[in-house]
Amino acid sequence: MEPPAPQRRVTIVDVARHAQVSTTAVSKVLRNAYGASPEMRTKVRRAIDELGYRPNAAARGLRGQTYTIGVMLPDIRNPFFPEILDGITGHLADTDYQVFLGPGGRNDEQAEARVTDAMIDRGMDGIILIAPVSSRARLEHIASAVPAVVVGRHGHSTVYDTVTDDDVAGAAMLVGHLVDLGHSRIAHIEHHESDPTRIAEMPNAQRAEGYRRAMRSLGLAEEIDIVSTSYTQQGGYEGATQLLARPRRPTAVFAGADIVAMGVLEALAEAGLSVPGDISVAGYDNTTFASFGPISLTSVDQAGREIGGNAARLLLERIADRRKAPVQVKLSPTLVPRRTTAPPPL
Amino acid sequence: MEPPAPQRRVTIVDVARHAQVSTTAVSKVLRNAYGASPEMRTKVRRAIDELGYRPNAAARGLRGQTYTIGVMLPDIRNPFFPEILDGITGHLADTDYQVFLGPGGRNDEQAEARVTDAMIDRGMDGIILIAPVSSRARLEHIASAVPAVVVGRHGHSTVYDTVTDDDVAGAAMLVGHLVDLGHSRIAHIEHHESDPTRIAEMPNAQRAEGYRRAMRSLGLAEEIDIVSTSYTQQGGYEGATQLLARPRRPTAVFAGADIVAMGVLEALAEAGLSVPGDISVAGYDNTTFASFGPISLTSVDQAGREIGGNAARLLLERIADRRKAPVQVKLSPTLVPRRTTAPPPL
DNA sequence: GTGAAAGCGCTAACAA
DNA sequence: TTGTTAGCGCTTTCAC
């Protein structure tokens, strides 16, 4: 039989009294700090276990750390994020840090501001921003308030670290793959970016740029054909519809993201075209969607776990030393050829 | 030109000084509490704006509330959760509460314990648990420490509120749909539940039970055929493989979740069977996967937004009055017939 | 190595 | 209506 749940939570004072030591001693043991003898440590640890003590994070945060890491996710529907998150939590599993996710809104700067402000207000020890859409200035503002790592933005900064995937290289690999198969009329569907100040930083722009460069270097400059919609299924559908209306139809479509490719596949199915018989389709991100057998979409894998792991590592380093030199990690993607790409029809 | 970022954050004392009032006054304005004249409010508000003051949540939490709601998500990959989350954040958008997600691990009681403990340690004002796998006792323990609402568990409790979807009814609708199409050999793939103490509470068990009852009441008791694997794509694949090995093959498969249906479709494609020509397939949850054109999976929609909205509402009510009578909300699912179900082959 | 005591920023009693 | 004051539970000097 358990006693009725105690009203008052066990505090550090209770532990100190129970172990017959000072609260300072308990605090030191909690933080693995210098200045406590082994005997003291065991004594305190036993008291903690016996009383079932758990430190109050709010109180800790008032003086020291909260042992909390915030991860801002712009869109929890994006099937690529779980991979990154696994990388982060995996790296943090053996530490005292706890991860909490703050839901932003897709393409919503205000929502991003709200959630990052909330993280700062709560004294989080560090923040990882996944593919934020906020302005450069805003990112620097956040990073000046709390250690921060930005994932998926290509610009450098003096205050935060970045982890990115080499989107230019990924796009080039995909184009190369299609050319190897014999394609030359290769179109690309990109995400329309309106803000000129951040355009170069966004992965979507990098993918389009990678496509352009690869086409040029393979002697296909004349065939460059970019449709600008959005990284959504709807965007893919619309983009494909536009491409199908071309007098000279492309024989392959490189969608900037898997979700875009889904829309493309849908439009092609409606148009009665077979994939890859009539037209090849490739995506980007290698989501579970892409690997799903009946779809089997050729895609580019971004090594999400590695991205997340690096982000967590850099963040811990920056928490340890806020003024360390900023680091930019750029990881290499891998091509994953599947059944939606094949030689063009004769 | 901005001055170099100030080292010290603006505190309530700064605001009080700037507005020439007491800190109490500022605190009252912050909380919209009783006892501050309109003039005082405007004066304080102006000072807050001028200084860019934001309250420190940790400090608030030490005495009062943290204005933080924790949502425990067992598996961020489940495409059904975003809907629930939208419902929650939508309901909370106009309040001072901020939502943070705690990533559990799928089917991992320890991970759930870690994240819920972390939420309690951080003084969160309330917790919403989405489809937890933890034991009943553990849920009650959590709810005794902090206002809690449990989503997707059918058991009643005296300390927490619940929001569920009527899984029995949903399964029955699906069976009815298949029978209407002319099927009688309808098999079901369920998630294997090992723990007898929570078996009746889990949605998967309810769906299986709904299937059984519907089959019986439609005079198909003899045809009841349940394969027990797991709610994963792999589970669907294995389940389908087992069913295809039957001497008398089913003409329709009711997968307990869309993700399971994906595995089924994959296995059928490999076996060279056409859907729905040779065999009908239905899922549950109406994920974006299901609605995706080329797949077009018949499924059951759980009204995720409504579930989330109700959970948030109940939680706010419970935060306002921790001892209010527990409420159980049970919502009705809707059948979404699509192209994977059709009359059986002749 | 150890502990006393001061405070982190806020809210809640209470007094004025 | 307003302000004064005492903590909330912890970490951090700084004596010893």
What's the pLDDT tens digit per position in B257-302?
Answer: 999 999 999 999 999 999 999 999 999 999 888 888 888 999 999 9
- Out of A68, A70, A82, name the one closest to residue B76 (CB): A82
Please state, as a whole number, how many other Cβ atoms lie within 10 Å of the Cβ of residue A185.
Answer: 19
Nucleotides on chain C within 7 angstroms of protein Cβ: 1-5, 7-13
Helix A38-51 and helix A23-31, axial crossing angle in degrees, nearest 10? 90
| pLDDT grade for A177, boundaries at 50, 70 and 90 | very high
Please state, as a whole number, how many other Cβ atoms lie within 10 Å of the Cβ of residue A4.
Answer: 7
Q: Is the CB of B62 under 7 A from strand D?
A: yes
In a domain, A308, yes or no: yes
By three-state DSSP, how is residue A171 classified?
A: helix
Residues composing chain B: 346
Give just the sign of the alpha carbon dihedral A89, A91, A92, A95: positive
Q: Where are the alpha helices (DSSP H) in chain B?
A: 12-19, 23-31, 38-51, 57-63, 81-92, 109-121, 136-145, 167-180, 203-217, 233-244, 258-270, 288-291, 304-320
First to last CA, chain A: 79
Residues A174 and A203 in one domain: yes
Distances (CA, A) of B152 to A119, A274, A297, B307, B315: 28, 41, 33, 9, 15
Give the integer Cα–Cα distance in Å for B213 and A341. Answer: 46
Q: How many helices (H) and strands (E) does chain A have?
A: 13, 12
The residue in chain B having the minimum alpha-carbon distance to the alpha carbon of residue A52 is: B117
- Out of B62, B233, B265, name the one closest to residue A62 (CB): B62
Q: Can you give the pLDDT of all 346 residues of chain B as single tens digits?
A: 333 444 678 999 999 999 999 999 999 999 988 888 899 999 999 999 999 999 999 999 998 899 999 999 988 887 788 889 999 999 999 999 999 999 988 778 999 999 999 999 999 999 999 999 999 999 999 999 999 999 999 988 999 999 999 999 999 999 999 999 999 999 999 999 877 777 788 999 999 999 999 999 999 999 999 999 999 889 999 999 999 999 999 999 999 999 999 999 999 999 999 999 999 999 999 988 888 888 899 999 998 999 999 999 999 999 999 889 999 999 999 999 999 999 999 8
Contact B164, B129 (CB under 8 A): no
Beta strands at B334-336 and B299-301: parallel, antiparallel or unpaired: antiparallel
Q: Write the CATH number for B27.
A: 1.10.260.40
Contact B165, B207 (CB under 8 A): no
In a domain, A115, yes or no: yes
Q: Is the CB of B294 under 7 A from strand D?
A: no
Residues A246 and A296 in one domain: yes
Give the integer Cα–Cα distance in Å for B212 and B254. Answer: 12
Contact B308, B83 (CB under 8 A): yes
Residues A105 and A184 in one domain: no
In the predicted structure, residue A2 carries a pLDDT above the cut 70: no
Range of the domain at A21: 12-54
**Does the distance separating the beta carbons of B100 and A70 come in below 8 Å?**
yes
- Smallest Cα–C1' distance to nucleotide D3: which residue has it? B22
Beta-carbon contacts of A329 under 8 Å, excluding residues fewer than 6 positions away, are A161, A162, A163, A164, A310, A314
CA nearest to B328, candidates B92, B149, B201? B149
What is the structure's pLDDT at A1? 37
Residues A114 and A126 in one domain: yes
First to last CA, chain B: 80
In a domain, A192, yes or no: yes
What is the structure's pLDDT at B7? 62
In a domain, A193, yes or no: yes
Beta strands at A334-336 and A299-301: parallel, antiparallel or unpaired: antiparallel
Contact B47, B53 (CB under 8 A): yes
Residues B174 and B114 in one domain: no
What is the structure's pLDDT at B45? 94
Give the integer Cα–Cα distance in Å for A121 and A280. Answer: 49
Q: A164 has which bridge partners?
A: A330
Distances (CA, A) of B312 to B141, B144, B148, B178: 20, 18, 10, 35
Residues B174 and B298 in one domain: yes
By three-state DSSP, how is residue B72 classified?
A: strand
Residues B293 and B179 in one domain: yes
| pLDDT grade for A7, boundaries at 50, 70 and 90 | low
Q: Which range (A134-138, A190-194, A275-279, B159-163) has the least confidence? A: A190-194
Q: What are phi and psi of A257, to 5 degrees?
A: -155, 155
Give the H/E segment covering residue A223: none
Give the integer Cα–Cα distance in Å for A327 and A198. Answer: 20
Give the H/E segment covering residue A268: helix A258-270
Give the integer Cα–Cα distance in Å for A31 and A55. Answer: 11
* Amino acid at position B214, single letter: A
**Does the distance separating the beta carbons of B57 and A57 come in below 8 Å?**
no
Residues B286 and B171 in one domain: yes
What is the structure's pLDDT at A195? 77
Give the integer Cα–Cα distance in Å for A161 and A142. Answer: 12
Residues A37 and A81 in one domain: no
In a domain, A1, yes or no: no
What is the structure's pLDDT at B4? 41
What is the structure's pLDDT at B273? 95
- Best A53, A67, A76, A291 member to test B by mutation, with max B CBs in 10 Å, is A76
3-state percent breakdown (helix, strand, coil) of chain B, nearest 5: 45, 15, 40
Q: What are phi and psi of B298, to 5 degrees?
A: -65, 130
Query: pTM (2 decimals)?
Result: 0.92
Amino acid B18 CA to nucleotide D2 C1' distance, rounded Å? 17
Residues composing chain A: 346
Residues A227 and A289 in one domain: yes
In a domain, B3, yes or no: no
In a domain, A6, yes or no: no
Q: Is the CB of A16 under 7 A from strand D?
A: no
Question: How many degrees, rounded to 5, is the angle at CA A79 between CA A74 and CA A82?
Answer: 80
Look up residue B337 and give its two tokens.
Answer: 């017939």
- Smallest Cα–C1' distance to nucleotide C13: which residue has it? B24
- Out of B55, B81, B294, name the one closest to residue A265 (CB): B294
What is the structure's pLDDT at B6? 47
Beta-carbon contacts of A52 under 8 Å, excluding residues fewer than 6 positions away, are A10
Q: Write the CATH number for A82.
A: 3.40.50.2300
In a domain, B4, yes or no: no
Contact B166, B209 (CB under 8 A): no
By three-state DSSP, how is residue B301 classified?
A: strand
Residues B212 and B285 in one domain: yes
What is the structure's pLDDT at B289? 81
Give the integer Cα–Cα distance in Å for B258 and A48. Answer: 45
Contact A300, A336 (CB under 8 A): yes
Look up residue B19 and give its two tokens.
Answer: 């507005």
The 10 Å CB-count burial string (b at 16+, else e) for B116-127 is bbbbbbbbbbbb
Q: Is the CB of B32 under 7 A from strand C?
A: no
Look up residue B292 and give its two tokens.
Answer: 């995706």
Please state, as a whole number, how many other Cβ atoms lie within 10 Å of the Cβ of residue A137.
Answer: 9
- Average pLDDT of chain A is 92
Contact B302, B165 (CB under 8 A): yes
Contact B305, B291 (CB under 8 A): no
Residues B141 and B252 in one domain: no
Q: How many domains does chain A have?
A: 3
Nucleotides on chain D within 7 angstroms of protein Cβ: 1-5, 7-13
Contact A150, A93 (CB under 8 A): no
Contact B262, B236 (CB under 8 A): yes
Q: pLDDT for A299-313, tens place per residue?
A: 999 989 999 999 999
- Best B73, B76, B86 member to test A by mutation, with max A CBs in 10 Å, is B76
Q: Which residue has the tokens 């982000």?
A: A311
CA nearest to B242, candidates B220, B221, B217, B260? B260
